[in-house]
A and B are shown apart, each in its own frame.
Chain A
Amino acid sequence: MNSPFSLSRRAPRKVTQPFVTLAHGGGGTAMRDLIEDVFLEAFSGAGHPAPEDQARFDLAALAAKGDRLAFTTDAFVVDPLFFPGGDIGTLAVCGTINDLAVGGARPVALSCAVIIEEGLPVETLRRVVASMARTAAEAGVAIVTGDTKVVARGACDKLFLTTTGIGVVRAGLDVGIAKGRPGDVVLVNGLLGDHGAAILNARGDLALETPIESDCAPLHDLIDVLIAAAPGVRMMRDATRGGAAAVLNELAEASAVGVRLRELDVPLRPEVNGFCEILGLDPLYLANEGKLVAVVPPEEAQAALDAWRAHPLGRDAAAIGRLVAERPGRVVMETRFGGERIVDMLVGDQLPRIC
């Protein structure tokens, strides 16, 4: 069932039932109605995709953009589907665009596979698809192919999305997790932990009234700006699950360097800081969906920061630490007193502490 966006020659079909049923995944007319009315309608903004089982790309046009193809995929299972600052649709588009962009690639196109639990309101699906379409259009990336499955109640949680993306890596640019060197500077483009805190807060178990919005955003533009200002950039990663701590630990290990962070330099929103205080969480481990961790050579650090701070997604950019030769593989935080602690990888999820 790999042709969800294929077109019929007849008049556009409409979904009339209020809820998605197993029939919508059955391959018959109900499925065609759903695909045409919900997905195709939203995703065809940039020109109707061809009625084929696959999207096709002109290789020469791709080759003109760079010298390597980047290819990535990501699955999205967030609960709740909608949260302050975004929803599963914006996440699915931004997440995959960012995974391409941090490799130095310019994103070209996305696919979208959808697993729907029967009983999901069609209106919910429309809202998610609309925000996917809007986010992709704003980022100038087309959603060109996809798939739809409906599963029995309980077989998935409301709605799961998988997006796969391709992009083209700029000629000559070579960034990677193993390229950090002692002396390099660690940059982030803004306040850490907003997404993780927003999701925990949106689950409503805590009844905190603090509005914390997800930072969900596509970062390819910010990466363009960074590469222009700091062409020697060594590494870029979006600090999603596991937060900045996970990225920095991977970096320390892969590059065989130590990472020294300064607690006072880590940019945090006061609300997120307070949220973490209450729950006994560490914001360095909270997920972000619009935050980059970049490593640049020291002589380019100031130019990179200046360029970022002039960009709307980089206003609160900061240099949070540097790479050192000592204690390779370790991330060490200088606390505000000049004490130090090791910032290790998490075993599983952070769990709130009892007291």
Chain B
Amino acid sequence: MRFVDEFRDPALATALIREIGVLSARLERGRANPIAVMEVCGGHTHAIFRYGLEGLLPDLIEFVHGPGCPVCVLPMGRVDDCVAIAERPEVIFATFGDAMRVPGSRKSLLQAKAEGADVRMVYSPLDALELARRNPGREVVFFGLGFETTMPSTALTVLRAAREGIANFSVFCNHITIIPTLRALLEQPDFGIDGFIGPGHVSMVIGTAPYRFIAQEFGRPLVVAGFEPIDLLQSLLMILRQMAAGEARIENQYARVVPEQGNPAALKAVAQVYEPRPTFEWRGLGSIAGSGVRLTEPYAAFDAERRFAVPDIKVADPAACRCGEVLTGAVKPWACPVFGTGCTPEMPLGALMVSSEGACAAYYQYGGVRGAAA
């Protein structure tokens, strides 16, 4: 496949891996722990496992799979709210596919659908708007989910609904933003991450400037990366080079897609349609100030939370789960007491077992090379 195979070239990978090996060996001298690099984005986690990158890298390098899987970090209570909306007889509930299996405290959207709720899988919020046009007698609610990657498309859809006066369309807004969460992680006292592989698609929207505090205040390098194996290896090497030079900068490996200033049109739509919530709850991490958004007052009419009396259910994470510690790299997935026993992709207990982008699901599915039962 053109424009893809180039980024999966084994010869290039071998050369990069060799260079990573040399550099990490040099860096390791005098260190007690392996070099820990967090890939923030779930898409990166998926790619690392899909191509078996961990097994190819020296043991001195450890990937920590960060909180960048929007499906995984969705709290149970929000899923319960989704189910409550979807079960209203007048509602068509439109959602991205992988959100359907996320367990709420009572049931998932997939179960609600089986019990009669009208839940439809869509590929874009515009598909949901089209459903609203075609079903004027029904209330179509789009489950807005994801980071800055999907935020603009939801925003543009709301703007279009407003322009066209489509009154039976609304958004159950669960969009979240990664920056406050990265800060919250970095502020933890014993946060042992040496550098970050920054999310590619999020950065395509927000640009690279919002990450500067990571280098300036916390002295960690961050390299915005693409999603192909070569992208990931090259980004890792860029992080190691910074470490070797004693530097901490924000670099952009994914320049073919990510402009430094982001996407101004998308950012404008985002600023118009959303405002930060005081706090938002993340599964496994708890409430984080300013990490979620809701619709602004001018678009309140399209806010499902205001249109329907959403129960706003709060459910504590299951006590046995150690998702929070896995997300911060303090604990490896297989060290969690319920990994693979009480918590499997079939019956996920914790957030990270839910989506194929979740660290635990990835280890379970693809078999972590070091340590996980294989």
Chain A contacts to B: CB under 8 angstroms? 205-206, 270, 273-274, 277, 280, 327, 330, 332-333, 335-342, 344, 347-348, 351-355
B326-374, CB < 8 A from A: 345-346, 355-357, 364-367, 369, 374
Asked if B97 CB lies within 8 Å of chain A CBs, one says: yes
A-B contact pairs, 23 of them (CB 8 A): A273-B1, A332-B367, A335-B50, A335-B52, A337-B51, A337-B53, A339-B56, A341-B51, A341-B367, A344-B364, A344-B365, A344-B367, A347-B345, A348-B101, A351-B98, A351-B100, A352-B98, A352-B121, A353-B355, A354-B98, A355-B43, A355-B70, A355-B146
Chain B contacts of A330 at CB under 8 A?
367, 374
Q: What range describes how many residues of B lie at the interface?
A: 35 or more
Q: Are B99's CB and A354's CB within 8 A?
A: yes
Residue of A277, A340, A344, A355 near B150 (CB, 8 A) is: A355
Chain B contacts of A327 at CB under 8 A?
374
Residue of A205, A337, A341, A353 near B357 (CB, 8 A) is: A353
User: B278 → chain A, closest Cβ, in Å?
Assistant: 25
Given A342-B367, A353-B357, A354-B99: A337 touches B127 (CB 8 Å cut-off):
no
Q: Are B96's CB and A338's CB within 8 A?
A: no
User: A236 → chain B, closest Cβ, in Å?
Assistant: 27
In the complex, what distance in Å separates the CA atom of A348 from the CA atom of B347? 11
Chain A contacts of B14 at CB under 8 A?
337
Q: Are B123's CB and A335's CB within 8 A?
A: no
Asked if B8 CB lies within 8 Å of chain A CBs, one says: yes
User: A28 → chain B, closest Cβ, in Å?
Assistant: 34
In the complex, what distance in Å separates the CA atom of A330 from the CA atom of B364? 12
Residue of A270, A339, A347, A353 near B98 (CB, 8 A) is: A353
Q: Are B49's CB and A341's CB within 8 A?
A: yes
In the complex, what distance in Å separates the CA atom of A242 from the CA atom of B342? 25
In the complex, what distance in Å separates the CA atom of A354 from the CA atom of B144? 11
Asked if B149 CB lies within 8 Å of chain A CBs, one says: yes
When C-beta atoms are compared, the residue in chain B nearest to A353 turns out to be B98
User: A346 → chain B, closest Cβ, in Å?
Assistant: 9
Residue of A277, A342, A347, A355 near B201 (CB, 8 A) is: A355
Chain A contacts of B127 at CB under 8 A?
205
Chain A contacts of B365 at CB under 8 A?
342, 344
Q: Are A337's CB and B43's CB within 8 A?
A: no
User: A142 → chain B, closest Cβ, in Å?
Assistant: 39
When C-beta atoms are compared, the residue in chain B nearest to A332 turns out to be B367
Residue of B4, B50, B70, B101 near A341 (CB, 8 A) is: B50
When C-beta atoms are compared, the residue in chain A nearest to B363 turns out to be A342
Q: Are A352's CB and B52's CB within 8 A?
A: no
Asked if B318 CB lies within 8 Å of chain A CBs, one says: no
- Most B Cβ at <10 Å: residue of A206, A330, A347: A347
As a 0/1 sequence over residues 161 to 190 of chain B, the CB contacts with chain A under 8 angstroms (1 = contact) are 000000000000000000000000000000
When C-beta atoms are compared, the residue in chain A nearest to B230 turns out to be A337
B92-130, CB < 8 A from A: 96-101, 110, 121-123, 127
When C-beta atoms are compared, the residue in chain A nearest to B344 turns out to be A347
When C-beta atoms are compared, the residue in chain A nearest to B145 turns out to be A354
In the complex, what distance in Å separates the CA atom of A340 from the CA atom of B46? 13
When C-beta atoms are compared, the residue in chain B nearest to A264 turns out to be B10
